[in-house]
A = this chain, B = another copy of it.
């Protein structure tokens, strides 16, 4: 069964897509075609959206599902004239939220992913620069780091650091354990000093070999034997040093990031 879903918003449509995507994962037997329609903030844009929705309904011979976060009631009405099933993600919660808070909401368009707090936005940009400069051992001055991910080469440190920096404004550095570190079975001094900021990542050697093989095919670096040695040594070293360690083989960067922030008690707001 194939069905089209639309994520429609007067802003980026990120909120609509995030909740909509979460909901459709609960229907694994349906094949979804996903269409994002951001910045639908005029009558004309709404009419175009209605046209696209109706076309999808005809093509699928079944109603499209529309995850809508448009704030303006008149524009929502236009979307409502389509043949799709409209799920109004904001509308459903604004009334109970008003009741809970005891105040009325003030309709503001496209604020969810706008720069509403300038300082916090700057923190995110600064943290992203920091992560770029403290990636992969480029700089090992970890004085200003909020956290430092350690692990063998290609275990997922870089994208996880970038994700935490971009979203949470966390100054996340990372350091790849070198063959020398693993031979000597001790952390270098510039890491030991900040042990309380360290979190280790590790993964199954088979998966590591697969990742490395796509990057350096046929290299010694990518052999299962080499990967197994490094993974085992890294685990022993980090356990010995008392560094918390996460298995990442089946985890996404979102999951690893959430666990790392929880582990270190870094309660930062997202966005």
User: Is A82 in the interface zone, CB < 8 Å from B?
Assistant: no
Q: Which residues of B contact A85 (CB under 8 A)?
A: 96, 99-100
Q: Are B128 and A27 in contact (CB under 8 A)?
A: no
Q: Are A18 and B21 in contact (CB under 8 A)?
A: no
Q: Are A25 and B162 in contact (CB under 8 A)?
A: no
Nearest neighbor of A65 in chain B, beta-carbon distance: B100
Cα distance A201–B269 in the bound complex, in angstroms: 27
User: Is A14 in the interface zone, CB < 8 Å from B?
Assistant: yes
A97: shortest Cβ distance to chain B, in Å? Answer: 6
User: Is A253 in the interface zone, CB < 8 Å from B?
Assistant: yes
Q: Which residues of B contact A269 (CB under 8 A)?
A: 21, 34
A244: shortest Cβ distance to chain B, in Å? Answer: 15
Q: Which residues of B contact A116 (CB under 8 A)?
A: 25
Residues of A123-170 contacting chain B, CB below 8 A = 124-125, 128-129, 132, 135, 156, 158-159, 162-163, 166
Residues of A1-56 contacting chain B, CB below 8 A = 1, 3, 11-15, 17-19, 21-30, 34-36, 38-39
Q: Which residues of B contact A252 (CB under 8 A)?
A: 113-115, 121
Contact A29-B103, Cβ < 8 Å, known A90-B22, A92-B93, A159-B125: yes
- A residues sitting closer than 8 Å to B (CB atoms) are 1, 3, 11-15, 17-19, 21-30, 34-36, 38-39, 62-63, 65, 69, 71, 85, 87, 89-90, 92-94, 96-97, 99-103, 105-108, 110-116, 121, 124-125, 128-129, 132, 135, 156, 158-159, 162-163, 166, 250-255, 257-259, 262, 267, 269-271
6 CB-based A-B contacts, threshold 8 Å: A21-B271, A26-B90, A36-B267, A113-B252, A124-B159, A132-B158
List 16 other contacts, CB 8 Å, given A34-B269, A38-B258, A39-B259. A3-B101, A17-B270, A18-B19, A18-B270, A19-B89, A19-B93, A26-B71, A26-B94, A29-B106, A36-B267, A38-B259, A92-B92, A128-B158, A132-B132, A166-B166, A166-B253
